[in-house]
Amino acid sequence: MRWRAAIVAAFLAVVVAGCGDDSSSSTTAVADGATTTVADDETAAVETAIRTWVLEGDCDLMTDKFLEAQTFESNPKRACKLFESLFEAPQYSAEDIEISDVEIEGERASAVVGGGATDITITYKLVNEDGQWKIDAVT
């Protein structure tokens, strides 16, 4: 039952953070101490991975580490089945999810989700595995 409470808490945090719009997005990449603008398609791919995961709960958008953290199940196939059985689609749309401060450094990215009216933010950490951005952690 501890894992169920943790999953519910994680979803509630995302629901609370998922209000607002994404009009304040900023995008930077950090390399060797220099900050540069990243191609819009990479930023869009990071934002799409986050929005799709929040709205659909797609296991393919999570690293095995993050999937295990969400379910307390070390077997990825069983963890995904468990995660999918507990997932409930939120009552808001992609436009309601505010994403800002996207930073991409090689195969790693981070983005802040939330803010606006809720004044609550969550930082998503992502990794690029075989061309697909996947959520690796939330803090």
pTM over 0.75: no
Tally the C-alpha atoms within 13 A of residue 101's C-alpha that lie toward its C-beta: 11
Give whole-number Cα distances, 84 to 17, 81, 133, in Å: 21, 5, 19
Q: Are 18 and 113 in contact (CB under 8 A)?
A: yes
83 contact partners, CB below 8 Å, separation of at least 6:
7, 57, 59, 62, 67, 70, 71
* Residues 18-43: tens digit of each pLDDT: 333 433 344 444 444 544 455 789 99
* Residues 64-118: tens digit of each pLDDT: 999 999 999 999 999 999 999 999 999 888 888 999 999 999 999 999 999 766 7
134 contact partners, CB below 8 Å, separation of at least 6:
49, 60, 61, 62, 63, 66, 126, 127, 128
Q: What tokens appear for 13 in the block?
A: 């945090």
pLDDT, residue 38, reads: 52
**What residue ranges do the domains of the chain occupy?**
2-138
Of the ranges 12-21, 32-41, 119-128, the best mean pLDDT one = 119-128
pLDDT, residue 13, reads: 44
